[in-house]
Amino acid sequence: MSGPAAGGALRRRLAALVLGLFLEARERAQVTADLEELREHRRRAGSRTAGLRWWWDLVRFPASLLIQRIRGGSSASADHGGVAAGAGTMRYDVRHAVRRLRRNPSYSVAVLATLTVTIGAATAVFSALNGVLLRPLPHPEPDRLVRVYEVDRRAADVEDRNPVAVANYRDWAEMNTTMSSMAALNAWDATAVIDGVAERVPVALVTAEVFDLVGVSAVLGRAFRATEYEEGNDAVLMLSYEYWQRRFGGDPAVLDRVIEFNGTQMPVVGVLPRGFRLFERNLDVWTPYTFSESALENRRSHYLTVLGRLKPGVTVAQAQSDLDRVVDLIRPTNAEFLDGWGVNVMLLKDDIVGSARPALLLLFAAVGFVLILGAVNVSAVTLTRALDTAHDTDVRRAIGATRGRLLQERLIESVLLALTGGAIGIGLAVVATRGLISMAPSSLPRADAIGVDPTVLAFALLVSLVTVLIGTVAIPGGGKVAEGLRVSGRSVTSSRVRRRWQAVFIGSQIALSVTLLVSAGLMVRSLSRLMAVDPGFEAARTMTMRIQLPGARFSDAPSQGPVLDALLDSALAVPGVTAAGITNYLPLLDTEGTWSVQIVGQPERRPDEKRDYGMHLVSPGYFETMGMRVVSGRAFDAADRAGRPLVAVVNESFVHRFFGPRENPVGRRMHLLARPEEVYEIVGVVADVHQESLDVAPVGAYYLPYAQLSDYHWIGVSRLVARLGVRSTDLVPIVRRAARALDPEILVYDPRTMADRVTDSSAVARTRFVSMLLAVFATVALVLTAIGVGGAVTQWTRQRRREIGIRLSMGATPSGVIRGLVTECGRIVVGGLAIGLLGANAFARVQSAMLFGITSTDATTYLSASLLVTGGAFIATLLPAVRAGRTDPVGVLRSDG
């Protein structure tokens, strides 16, 4: 549901919303279609502002219709388009409005401040929402692009989406009938040597269909030829535009260059267009994907990223059932691999933004509340002003001003305020958006698409106009209020109307702020719960870095192991380093590769039972360095080397999965399902570590010392971890120097402390991001509410000066007056609170998926939020009430006589 179609639907809905206030259904449909047609015309005529013009036209509609209605519309004087005299009147009206607003600074400033804050916040969040969720993916017909996963259904509770095995991909691509093409790619970090310097380059291996499928071709040179997708001819490269610019200065002569890539000399044949990305990843180098004979038979290893383009008119659901059919067809002959496995098709855009959607929608809803609060505040201030200037209005009407004329003036004032407040708000939003992006978790997809674009500007403008128009024109009963006023500010009717509205204002503000406070509070408490989770390791004073060995010279574990040992020794020699270790999968950061295991002496299990778990290849000293607890048996030591009996350590979840509660796994033996000849003795059990995320329960894992691995194994990118007794800045340079001395193509990069990795891990970063923004909104809401309540009570007491004066002169004490006012206000606050808490509960249920460690009915949060709002309202009430208590009864009675 993305793309121009979705944009059109959104526009139609918006237009219906705006026009619905003024036009009947048939007329509304006409105008909506007109606007859409005009936009299409302008767009096809090459206008870049067609979208903006659409917004502008839409926004002008209510204004034009209102003016027309006010003026009665039968005379040519209403026609001010292109007529000098008409424009002159307009200019005069505007000047007059500016003068009036400047004469009443407290009103103007209150409205402008409210508008700036609410519009700034709303626009910043909307720009994030627009960039991530609304804007279509930058590929042609993005609604037809899908991502396809293999689904592991053996774990009963979750649908585990996985990359795809090569043989399965081949079968799907050949046997499906719903896709016009399917493509596969695989991405990792490779080593390139350019001008004698080795560097790490993210590379994508792609099948022939990928570029056509996403509609991209070379901007320089050419794409890969069909023959280059055959084994033996595939040593060619394409570069990303950005890499070409960054590394080769945009020199077209790059096409004559040959780059040493993972040990092979490969010519550069082309450059891809600027900004071309797939899956949010910066992939610098692209090369053809060819599959070996053995890979084409492989259904066991899942590592392909698979994309598809739906045939025109085919839905995702149809493609899903088509591929289900294909999987059912191939399952009987491949039961060993496919039992318990299925397939999942989803829109590429949903795949990319999926995780961010709920958080963004929650924030948008929250910001919507802030907007409503802003509108309520503007209404309250404006109503107050209307009442204050009622006398003035009466005089003007008496000397002949029509009601339309007065309303028009008010309208012009409102539009002026809206435009000014909107403009300042947009400025604030630009700054806030930048801040938002820099604070956003790195897992936020499409962050580069976030920005203030015409759609966002139009949104801000529309929101400010609507806010002010609601605030000024559409005060319910506004006309009646004005009528009531004509009697006098003291009349009973008017003060009743007045008080009812003030009560509604106060009550709704309280309700909205409680909702926001509860929502923010729940997130903040989730964050603290999350940070309190024991990750299973000690993050403090631990430094980590990545090590990448050139694949050509170090192609298997026996050749890689000694190099890693040497680097480990160089780290251990650094003063201040108390322990150091190496692993291939760092917790919270790396996705584990899983391999099926078999415990010796246990029956072979059914194929649909899950028994593939993370295989961690580590050095002796890794557990100690990470502060992982050895629960029973022992950790690895230097004696566990090649030629010695093979050993393994497993974690507690692994023990739960494979052994009974009273069974001691130490001494038992296991092997990889695929390698029965290499049998490991389990020598120890370590405590679980949160591998995937702090909010995901740990799963089974086993650890093997890489020093004992045969040439069947390959270690891949590793992580060196060092525990520092004292702060040391020498560690990384020393390891780097040692690496260079061993081989100039060994890369040491990405140095970061483990503590930073924990705070930046996706669950923590997301929760922190959302809770921080919600806290800001809640604070804004609280301040707006305090201002609103304070203002209302001030008005209230001013109105009732006479009544208070009489009561004081009849013997009431000042404290009695104060108590009376506070009680009266308190009743409204309690009412608002009750509604707000109900609303908060409904809202919290929506966000419950984002909570951690607490429920959406967490009593502490609700209580604190209520206390905070009540306290704020109390203080806001007390000040004007105390002032009222000091009223001089004689003065009041004399002046109002």
Partner 1 sequence: MGNDVLGGFEHQVLIAILRLGSEAYSVPIVLELERRTGKSVAASQVYVTLRRLEKRGLVSSRFEPPPAAEGGRERRVFKLEPAALELLRETKRVFARLWDGLPILDEA
Cβ atoms of 107 and 378 within 8 Å: the answer is no
| Residue among 30, 591, 602, 895 that touches partner 1 (CB under 8 A) | 30
| Residue among 73, 252, 477, 676 that touches partner 1 (CB under 8 A) | 73
Q: Which is nearer to partner 1, 81 or 897 (CB)?
A: 81
**Binding track over 75-104 against partner 1, x by CB under 8 A:** xxxxxxxxx--x------------------
Report the sign of the C-alpha dihedral through residues 751, 755, 756, 758, in that order: positive
| Count of Cβ atoms closer than 10 Å to residue 196 Cβ | 7
Q: How many residues does the chain have?
A: 897
> What SS3 class is residue 691?
coil
Minimum distance between the CB of residue 9 and partner 1, rounded to whole angstroms?
Answer: 15
Residue 61 touching partner 1 (CB under 8 A): yes
Instruction: Name the segment binding partner 1 (CB under 8 A); options: 53-61, 231-239, 666-674, 858-866.
Output: 53-61
| Residue among 2, 11, 28, 35 that touches partner 1 (CB under 8 A) | 35
Tokens in use for 454?
């015409």
Q: Which is nearer to partner 1, 53 or 798 (CB)?
A: 53
Instruction: Name the segment binding partner 1 (CB under 8 A); options: 71-79, 441-449, 452-460, 859-867.
Output: 71-79
Instruction: Name the segment binding partner 1 (CB under 8 A); options: 68-76, 385-393, 692-700, 752-760.
Output: 68-76
Cβ atoms of 525 and 854 within 8 Å: the answer is yes
Residue 159 touching partner 1 (CB under 8 A): no
- Nearest to 305, CA basis, from 176, 169, 177: 169
Instruction: Name the segment binding partner 1 (CB under 8 A); options: 59-67, 188-196, 212-220, 247-255.
Output: 59-67
Q: How far apart are CA 162 and CA 169, in angstroms?
A: 12
Q: How far apart are CA 376 and CA 86, in angstroms?
A: 34
- Nearest to 246, CA basis, from 205, 292, 288, 282: 282
| β-bridge pairing 264-271 and 197-206 | unpaired
Residue 65 touching partner 1 (CB under 8 A): yes
Q: How far apart are CA 477 and CA 467, in angstroms?
A: 17
Query: 575 phi and psi, to 5 degrees?
Result: -60, 135
Tokens in use for 616?
């961690």
Minimum distance between the CB of residue 592 and partner 1, rounded to whole angstroms?
Answer: 52
| Residue among 12, 43, 53, 657 that touches partner 1 (CB under 8 A) | 53
Tokens in use for 487?
């009697």
Q: How far apart are CA 455 and CA 429, in angstroms?
A: 14
Minimum distance between the CB of residue 40 and partner 1, rounded to whole angstroms?
Answer: 9
Q: How many helices (H) and strands (E) does the chain have?
A: 28, 22
Within its chain, how far is the Cα of 770 from the centroid? 8
Minimum distance between the CB of residue 415 and partner 1, rounded to whole angstroms?
Answer: 14
Residue 659 touching partner 1 (CB under 8 A): no
Q: Which is nearer to partner 1, 90 or 863 (CB)?
A: 90
| β-bridge pairing 647-651 and 675-686 | parallel
Minimum distance between the CB of residue 458 and partner 1, rounded to whole angstroms?
Answer: 15
| Residue among 2, 11, 31, 795 that touches partner 1 (CB under 8 A) | 31
Q: Which is nearer to partner 1, 6 or 65 (CB)?
A: 65
Residue 846 touching partner 1 (CB under 8 A): no
Tokens in use for 808?
């004081």
CA distances from 303 to 161, 299, 300 (A): 12, 10, 10
Residue 712 touching partner 1 (CB under 8 A): no
Q: How far apart are CA 655 and CA 665, in angstroms?
A: 7
Instruction: Name the segment binding partner 1 (CB under 8 A); options: 36-44, 466-474, 754-762, 764-772.
Output: 36-44
Minimum distance between the CB of residue 35 and partner 1, rounded to whole angstroms?
Answer: 6
Q: Which is nearer to partner 1, 58 or 323 (CB)?
A: 58
Minimum distance between the CB of residue 43 and partner 1, rounded to whole angstroms?
Answer: 13
Residue 63 touching partner 1 (CB under 8 A): yes
Instruction: Name the segment binding partner 1 (CB under 8 A); options: 22-30, 232-240, 269-277, 509-517.
Output: 22-30
Minimum distance between the CB of residue 454 and partner 1, rounded to whole angstroms?
Answer: 16
Q: Which amino acid is at 872?
A: G
Q: Which residues contact 134 (CB under 8 A, 6 or more apart)?
A: 2, 6, 7, 10, 455
Minimum distance between the CB of residue 135 and partner 1, rounded to whole angstroms?
Answer: 24
Residue 842 half-sphere exposure, CB side, CA atoms within 13 Å?
Answer: 9
Size of the site for partner 1 (CB under 8 A): 32
Instruction: Name the segment binding partner 1 (CB under 8 A); options: 25-33, 353-361, 454-462, 588-596.
Output: 25-33
Give the start-end residues of each E strand in 706-767.
Answer: 718-724, 747-753
- Nearest to 346, CA basis, from 323, 362, 330, 312: 323
Q: What single DSSP character describes residue 154?
A: -
Q: Which is nearer to partner 1, 62 or 581 (CB)?
A: 62
Cα angle 392, 397, 402 (rounded to 5 degrees) comes to 130
Minimum distance between the CB of residue 45 and partner 1, rounded to whole angstroms?
Answer: 9
**Binding track over 332-371 against partner 1, x by CB under 8 A:** ----------------------------------------
| Residue among 3, 43, 57, 233 that touches partner 1 (CB under 8 A) | 57
Tokens in use for 240?
């990303």
Q: What single DSSP character describes residue 628?
A: P
Q: How far apart are CA 614 and CA 593, in angstroms?
A: 6
Q: Which is nearer to partner 1, 94 or 631 (CB)?
A: 94
| Residue among 4, 8, 24, 68 that touches partner 1 (CB under 8 A) | 68
| Residue among 6, 38, 187, 630 that touches partner 1 (CB under 8 A) | 38
Cα angle 82, 83, 84 (rounded to 5 degrees) comes to 115
Q: Residue numbers of the site for partner 1 (CB under 8 A)?
A: 26, 29-31, 33-35, 37-38, 41, 53, 56-57, 60-61, 63-65, 67-68, 73-83, 86
